[in-house]
Amino acid sequence: MSRALYPKIKHYHHEWLKVDDVHQIYLEQSGNPNGIPVLYLHGGPGGGSSNNHRRYFDPEKYRIIIFDQRGCGQSKPSPSIENNHTDFLIEDIEKIRQHLSIDKWLISGGSWGTTLALIYGIRYPQVVLGFILRGIFLGTKKEYDWLYQVDGAERFFPEYYQDFIKPLEGNFQDNLLEGYQQIFSSDNEVAKIAACKAWYLWELRLSTIEHHHIGMAQIEDSHQALCMAQLSHHYFYHHCFIEENYILNNIANISDIPAIIIHGRYDMVCPLNTAANLTKHWVNASLQILPQAGHSGFESQTIDALCKATDVMANFLQETKR
């Protein structure tokens, strides 16, 4: 039987945690305060958290911790790329753990959230109980090229790609990240907003095989588009502020930690071969390929797999604790 999301719940506590002189990150907790602590890392960069992210986890078994990464969502200021790179985000995660007085926790996330989860685990393996990851992204040049250059995802969505490159007006066709950099660093606010919406629309269209006919009319939340576009571009333009193949080169740090990896066969944002390659190098990771799913965390097969995975992991952690 296919699983649905757990019922809607409210958080029992929320706050804005000051992490430096610029940023306060939105942080919330829901579920069972005495349950297994789990941190969910949203995608993007800049995607922000969703109330539905709480619903992947059994609220009776889990202490569910969600936050908006610096510069997006309800965090302040937002959108913002100031003092915003991967090392800062990793240290924010560790500050949250210490702030909440958590000894060890489960780390979960989707897309860009998997990148952060893996880097955090590599740097702090001693505090990680396990991983549940959906839609693996490793932050490599091959992945950027797939998304933004010709002969990648463009081959499957040529008409959508034309909408994506339209703000560049024929310039920088061989280097779209540089072209968007010129727009995002300019003072032309009208052009900047239009470019942000085009960037956001490209990823939305690639993200799902269940929900079609996504057009510019669906980009109603300008703040979400600004956060997603400006932060994603900021990170990808700077190669996610990590060395090429950083995660695979350091996977031995987390090789003993159990992981459940879930990936849609028709994921057009993060192609499946990335997840397959990761599991080849990670002896304690299992890969579940979803035969009729894309990239979105809220397609039916993905919801089913994630909720089942959180149940399996909860039972495993409770058994090993005895």
Instruction: Please give the positions annotated as active site.
Output: 111, 267, 295
Looking at residue 158, its amino acid is P
Q: Which residues pair with 290 in a beta bridge?
A: 264
Query: What residues contact residue 87 under an 8 Å CB cut-off, 6+ apart?
Result: 241
Q: Which helix (H) or strand (E) holds 202?
A: helix 189-207
- Do you find a cis peptide bond into 77, omega within 30 degrees of 0? yes
Cβ atoms of 233 and 199 closer than 8 Å: yes
Sign of CA pseudo-dihedral 214, 191, 48, 254: positive
Cβ atoms of 268 and 153 closer than 8 Å: yes
Cβ-based neighbour number of residue 292 at 10 Å:
13
Q: CA-CA distance, 40 to 22, in Å (whole number)?
A: 23
Output phi, psi for 199, to 5 deg: -65, -50
Q: CA-CA distance, 127 to 282, in Å (whole number)?
A: 18
Query: What residues contact residue 321 under an 8 Å CB cut-off, 6+ apart?
Result: none
Q: CA-CA distance, 127 to 102, in Å (whole number)?
A: 9
Question: Where would I find the beta strands (DSSP E) of 19-127?
Answer: 24-31, 36-41, 62-67, 105-110
Nearest to 79 by CA among 221, 223, 189: 223
